[in-house]
Amino acid sequence: MRSNERNKTRSKTKNPFWVIVRKEVGDYARSWKALILIILITLTCMSSLYSALSSIGEAVKSGATDDTFLFLKLFTLSDGALPSFAVFIGFLGPLLGIALGFDAINSEQNKGTLSRLMSQPIYRDYIINAKSLAALLVIGTLLFALGFLVMGFGLVFIGIPPTVEEFLRVVIFLLLSLVYIAFWLYLSLFFSIICKQPATSALAGLSVWLFFSVFYNIILNVVGKALSPSPMAMPHQVFNYQKLMVNLLRFSPNELFQEVIMTMLMPTVRSLGPLTFEQVDGALPNPLTLGQSLQVVWPQLIGLIAIALVFFLLSYISFMRKEIRSR
């Protein structure tokens, strides 16, 4: 019986898929590009934590704040000198995903290691799945380590433990951040498969990130000025115009992520779009429960998961059809 159990454990540990996963995690841990970005994200997030604690301390001294959802304010407040923790994750997270995926395939193909790996008796999809899982493990470990570190420092300095709802909101925020960064990881992984040189795939991923971070809003501003109703327009025309602009803005994954984290970390947010007077009339200014916040942000959440899965499938199909020759 013991020999059978040992054979089973050995067969599990020698599974080629997990061997590749451990190898990729080790490569990421020893990679300078990943280490530099991890250190940068850690330092900036700790700086934003200090900014949030300073703002909370000043607000408590002046009596301008209460203890309602105080733990969530650690992730959203800022003293004006630095952005909040959530804003930093939304800005630097895509860079981490691009850095871990832009040379995952083409660099090994150029070195000739990918063809040697393909010559081993392993399934072809083990390679792409293991690389994706290893990168997600590194990103997820970093996100949850930073998130729990922020909660730990908040517990020490504030002295008030988080409620169950606050803890669940923070965990959901970290999971959604992982999904958002996974989209950029799969996007860069797709470019790594279709582009021969790592520099080309890195430039393509950074171009997409820069487009949605800067130029997409500029284009929408130009379109908005062209489509803006006249000052004498009817209220329903103004409402339709605002609704159209909000929907166009949601084609950006950055905007979807910002709406998701704003709803999860700020329970007072009751809507993510324009409302009519009939919808506002009679509404109580009470914070939403966790379930109600999820209902508000459910379309954005599905959109983030969908675009991440789409680019993972594109990467998977492209890799399975890719011709890999030995050099």
Instruction: Summarize pLDDT for 9-65 with one digit per residue, the tens.
Output: 444 457 888 888 898 888 887 877 778 878 888 888 878 877 777 777 666 555 555
Check residues 91 and 66 and name the one with the higher pLDDT. Answer: 91
Q: How confident is the model at residue 314 (pLDDT cuts 50, 70, 90)?
A: very high
Residue-wise pLDDT for 212-262, tens only, equals: 988 998 998 888 888 777 777 677 777 777 888 888 888 889 888 988 888
Please tell me what DSSP assigns to residue 304.
H
Average pLDDT of the segment spanning 81-92: 82
Q: How confident is the model at residue 174 (pLDDT cuts 50, 70, 90)?
A: very high
- Which residue type occupies 259? E
pLDDT at 179: 93
Q: How many residues does the chain have?
A: 327
Q: What is the pTM of this model?
A: 0.87
Check residues 69 and 129 and name the one with the higher pLDDT. Answer: 129
Q: How confident is the model at residue 182 (pLDDT cuts 50, 70, 90)?
A: very high
**What's the CA angle centered on 202, arms 306 and 252, to 5 degrees?**
35
Average pLDDT of the segment spanning 78-96: 82
Calpha distance 150→243 (Å, rounded): 36
Calpha distance 196→37 (Å, rounded): 24
pLDDT of residue 203 exceeding 90, the answer is yes
pLDDT at 9: 47
Check residues 272 and 240 and name the one with the higher pLDDT. Answer: 240
CB-count burial class (<10 Å; 0-12, 13-18, 19+) for 22:
middle
pLDDT at 1: 45
Q: How many CB atoms lie within 10 A of CB 49?
A: 23
Q: Phi then psi for 286, rounded to 5 degrees?
A: -100, 150
Average pLDDT of the segment spanning 181-200: 92
Residue-wise pLDDT for 95-154, tens only, equals: 889 988 888 888 888 887 777 877 777 888 888 999 999 999 999 998 998 888 888 888
- Which residue type occupies 150? V
Calpha distance 295→206 (Å, rounded): 33
Are residues 311 and 187 in contact, defined by beta-carbon separation less than 8 angstroms?
Answer: yes
Q: Which of 54, 53, 45 is nearest to 83 (CA)?
A: 45
Please state whether 69 falls in left (phi above 0), alpha (psi between -120 and 50) or beta: left
Q: What share of the chain is helix, strand, coil (3-state, %, to 5)?
A: 75, 0, 25
